[in-house]
Structure 1
Amino acid sequence: MSDEAAAPEGNPVAAPDDPPLVVEGLTKDYGSVLANDDVSFTVHRGEIFGFLGPNGAGKSTTIRLLLGLLKPTAGTARVLGADIRDEAALTAVKGRIGYLPAHLGFDEEATGKAVLDYHGAIKGEGRRDELLEIFTPPVERPIREYSTGNKRMLGLVQAFMHDPELVVMDEPTSGLDPLKQEGFNEFIRRERDRGTTIFFSSHVLSEVRRVCDRVGILRGGSLVELEGVEALLHRSGKHVRVHADDAAVAALTALDGVVDAEPFSEGAQFIYAGDPNALLDELARHDIRDVEIGEPPIEDVFVHYYGSEEPGRRGPETAVDPGDDGA
């Protein structure tokens, strides 16, 4: 990674051991919608932090606040040592930040090459050729001819080509085909190993386990969970699918820790978050034709955090977060 740029006198810069992103009581109140409600968390150097939530949860609002595109109603955050309420300080560190918005505002008449030339002239492009080999957008063609996936790949190149130390991305894999998504996952794992800090929002829960070190879960503008991915998976139990008679199914699904039991013609499946020894003991008491025990789909792990109610929202449940662009 490139050396840290010196900040103008009077503008704070994070010390090498300081967290690159510290959020403290961040609040954005639009009146009808409380898009961020006293949100606090820290992102450590060299980690991949997933910022998760359903559409309209307030993820994009948080990102815009962190980048100084919106002003907070209350609270603050420090990005590479710069307080987001201090415009001069934040401007001084932006050359060390990469940003991929959810909705890319590229000039439709410009070619991909022209877009990268423009961004490169502003912030540098030392890794441009390397990144074009990984993400392969058709840079000689005008943006109007690009698919959604090609636009996303061009955006990824511009976000990383100046070798930033912190990269903030909003729904980074939206529109990418499965192969490119996996290529992206491998790429950001390598970036983390180089020391780059990655912060990205997503509502695609299956991405989380593949790449994130920790996650923050946002629901209705409030942070409802902040934990390591493996700890969340462990705490959320196992997925059990058992083939057995009705008596065995009834006994098993009556165990403490069983949730979301669903019968099928030859047995039942459920999530089990209780004592594993109690489950094994109960299985041993019955004639079990077949049993599968594994980790639950990650959608099941997080769904109870989303729930049906949106704390922080005012008015109809269908109200859209003004800061979220539908991302």
Structure 2
Amino acid sequence: MFAAEESRPRHRRQRSNAARRPPKPSRPGAQGKVNFNRTLIVEPLPISAGVPPMIGRNAGTVGFRGPATASAVCRPDADLDAGPVAGDDVGMTSDIALLTEDLTKFYGQRRGVEGLSLEVRAGEVVGFLGPNGAGKTTTIRLLLDFLRPTRGRATVLGLDPRRDKAALHHQVGYLPGELVFPGRDKAEDLLRFFAAARGGVAWSQVTGLAERLDLDLSRSVRAMSKGNKQKVGLVQAFMHQPAMLVLDEPTSGLDPLMQQEFLAMVRDASAAGQTVFMSSHVLAEVQQAADRVAIVRDGQLAAVERVESLGKRAVRAVEIHFDDPVDPTEFSGLPGVSDVVVSGPVLKCTIDGRIDPLIKAAARHEVVDMLSAEPDLEETFLSFYYHGEGAGDASRAGA
């Protein structure tokens, strides 16, 4: 969607050779080649002429990977309030926002994801959970046509990611797992560039998001910390109020306070009718915002469950301090309790599932203090899904 012209002439031989070659036919959505090592004159084309810019490493052929000329394209005083609302549900044909059927991607002999069949309803918040390397990022890139599947198909917002790429990217707010911001532009200039390329975004929406995330728009993005760069990425994903948010590890680099603010933003988006599909390997953050969780392991869908049912199966470490020494046999036989270790008045154990039996047993004694670590996703997988107990649930992906 960007036409680029180099301001420095090419070598005479290159110009002569180019003149002898027949011109390539133009095609809708074609983008000019951008060389950041040279001075460019970049001219934004209408949003219908191509794909809105996407950010991130390995984003395929889609998008503009850096705002080298953001200040030339979007002046700080540019009027961005005019233009289409990117959240319009163009292409939505049902209450299903995302549907995959046997979605599979192999990298040679190595499996990225295999046989993924998943359904996400419009307005739903779904957490895509799995340990690192499970296939979460591969799945997201397939959904946005940054990768092409080996087999199977996906439909997002009623659109085919390959055939309807431009229309789909217009309606999606995407945050990649790896942010790449070349150039020395200020956050304000960068976001104005993305806003203009998306067809117009009310600048008050941008400043409101920046305020919520405590982001200084006057700073150079290149000089920012990882956490502040992540905030810039979140603002560009949310700012046009898209029909669907696709977020890959969105809290990476954020401090605990900003993580809570991000989760509040997700809840607000859901209340406004937006669909949210976010990957994570942190169970606690997904529990606070998601309606359902889809769990992937070894490239395959292990289960799709309501958040409340997943919490019942979570594994957590518990430490209870009593007023007097206790007998370990009182606790070792309780349902879901294992690894019981008693040292005088201190009990340490692991809980797999509901904590109620342990609480009732501890209530027979005078409890001084109790510590419970957040459920660990990896341990939950090892104790439940990695042993195949959740395999049957994967067939109910749309439940």
Answer yes or no: is 1:271 the counterpart of 2:351. Answer: yes
Alignment match, 2:253: 175
5+ residue gaps, structure 1, are 7-12, 312-327
Cα distance change on mapping 1:156 and 1:237 into 2, 3 Å: closer
Cα distance change on mapping 1:104 and 1:270 into 2, 3 Å: closer
Cα distance change on mapping 1:309 and 1:164 into 2, 3 Å: closer
For residues 268 and 295 of structure 1, what CA distance do their matches in structure 2 show?
10
Residues 24-74 of structure 1 show CA distances to partners (whole Å, capped at 9, x for unaligned) of 211111134211021121112222211111111111111100100001111
- Aligned pair count reads 297
For residues 26 and 57 of structure 1, what CA distance do their matches in structure 2 show?
14
Moved more, 261-270 or 192-201: 261-270
Alignment match, 1:319: none
Alignment match, 1:304: 380
Counterpart residue identity of residue 340, structure 2: A
Cα distance change on mapping 1:154 and 1:288 into 2, 3 Å: same
Aligned Cα root-mean-square deviation (Å) = 3.1
Alignment match, 1:69: 146
Residues 253-301 of structure 1 show CA distances to partners (whole Å, capped at 9, x for unaligned) of 1244333434444334231648967985x668xx6343888987321x6
Residues 127-177 of structure 1 show CA distances to partners (whole Å, capped at 9, x for unaligned) of 223222222432222222111111111111111111101000111111112
Relative contact order, CA 8 A, sep 6+: which one is greater?
Answer: 1
Counterpart residue identity of residue 374, structure 2: P
Q: Which SS does the other structure have where 2:148 is aligned?
A: coil
Alignment match, 1:94: 169
- Choose the corresponding residue for 2:201, options 108, 111, 125: 125
Q: Are the equivalent residues in 2 in contact too, given 1:27–1:39 (CA < 8 A)? A: yes
For residues 140 and 240 of structure 1, what CA distance do their matches in structure 2 show?
46
Cα distance change on mapping 1:161 and 1:24 into 2, 3 Å: same
Counterpart residue identity of residue 270, structure 1: T
Q: CA deviation at 1:241?
A: 4.9
Is the radius of gyration larger for structure 1 or structure 2?
Answer: 2
Cα distance change on mapping 1:296 and 1:175 into 2, 3 Å: closer
Q: Are the equivalent residues in 1 in contact too, given 2:317–2:349 (CA < 8 A)? A: yes
Alignment match, 1:261: 340
Residues 179-220 of structure 1 show CA distances to partners (whole Å, capped at 9, x for unaligned) of 211111111111111111111111222212221111111222
For residues 279 and 105 of structure 1, what CA distance do their matches in structure 2 show?
48
For residues 265 and 32 of structure 1, what CA distance do their matches in structure 2 show?
54
For residues 100 and 342 of structure 2, what CA distance do their matches in structure 1 show?
44
Alignment match, 1:149: 227
Answer yes or no: is 1:40 the counterpart of 2:120. Answer: no
Q: TM-score, normalised by structure 1?
A: 0.79
Answer yes or no: is 1:109 the counterpart of 2:184. Answer: yes
Alignment match, 2:88: 4
For residues 226 and 315 of structure 2, what CA distance do their matches in structure 1 show?
37
Residues 71-119 of structure 1 show CA distances to partners (whole Å, capped at 9, x for unaligned) of 11111111001123xx232322221110011111212322212211221
Q: Are the equivalent residues in 2 in contact too, given 1:44–1:197 (CA < 8 A)? A: yes
For residues 175 and 234 of structure 2, what CA distance do their matches in structure 1 show?
7
Alignment match, 1:314: none
Cα distance change on mapping 1:146 and 1:238 into 2, 3 Å: closer
Q: Are the equivalent residues in 2 in contact too, given 1:20–1:43 (CA < 8 A)? A: yes
Q: Which SS does the other structure have where 1:23 is aligned?
A: strand
Q: Which SS does the other structure have where 2:311 is aligned?
A: helix
5+ residue gaps, structure 2, are 1-84, 388-399
